[in-house]
Homo-oligomer: A and B are copies of this chain.
């Protein structure tokens, strides 16, 4: 259909966007099914082949908390054996200095830390206060930078918190700026519970820019819990954001799980980006094939609308099959 296309919005948008792929880490850690390390390595290999420019591959968090990613070191060895590391940046989430030790040991060149914009989530997720989390991050980021690593910082609960409700923009900017200024090259603003709406996204980006965190250093990490993810991504593009987080096949948003976080599916994002004429370097067909393959291993349909729609197109339901990339089944 109109994929790729050249319909710039009247408001102007970037010509190129970096899709930051979180499926192997944020996606798989929220899937009930634990998949073997060699399947993860193949998944990452296929994502790189499909043109994803950066892939967050795993986390050095304690296996007690995230058993799905207990094989982080083994996975990195497999990627090395396959000659995959270095083809694109492959950040690893590192919660603290102990995680950093493991990252250094494995020669990881790119890490991500995960902070909270609210007191309640800092207490529950990090067992620290809003202030106290920095005692953990400061030495971690310092040592990572000294080791020559690139550091990305996630900030969660930027648009709302299930315990606190509204989160003041001033508080998010204050905590986020502090986290960024530890030395991160990028700050990913997370709508962890999916409650954001487009105006809120624009407001927060503008507030960060006014406080001196440049738009080029901001990424948006949206969840589709309330169906708002792609509209929020569009608003972010209009506000000058050029990095968007998403999860191949919508991994981590299993519709059968009560705790579904509803990651934005990379395919649905790429459909929109290509549709409005924004370059990503991603081959949508290869990506859809990858997510279809992984859904088979997970034993359930993908939560990506694009993946499901194209899969239906292959069914003998009386509609003509897709003719071109992005061609709909009916």
Contact = CB atoms under 8 A, between A and B. Distances in A.
Q: State the oligomeric state as a number of copies.
A: 2
Interface in A273-298: 274-277
Contacts of A272: 197-198, 228, 231
Contact of A162 (B10, B304, B330): B330
A130 interface: no
B226 A268 contact: yes
Most buried by B among A9, A163, A308: A9
Most buried by B among A1, A225, A226: A226
Contact of A234 (B198, B225, B271, B308): B198
Interface residues of A, number: 68
Q: For chain A, what secondary structure do more than half of its interface residues adopt (helix, strand, loop), or is it mixed?
A: loop
A62 interface: no
A220 interface: no
Interface string A221-247: 000111110110111001100000000
A211 to B, nearest CB: 17
Interface stretch (A68-76, A95-103, A312-320): A312-320
Contacts of A328: 160, 162, 193-195, 225-226
Given A226-B309, A328-B225, A165 B323 contact: yes
A189 to B, nearest CB: 15
Contacts of A235: 9, 234
Most buried by B among A238, A324, A330: A330
A104 interface: no
Contact of A1 (B2, B10, B166, B312): B166
Interface in A168-221: 193-200, 202-203, 206
Contact of A197 (B193, B275, B317): B275
Contacts of A271: 197, 226-228
Contacts of A200: 2, 5, 7, 275-276
A305 interface: yes
Given A226-B309, A265-B227, A198 B276 contact: yes
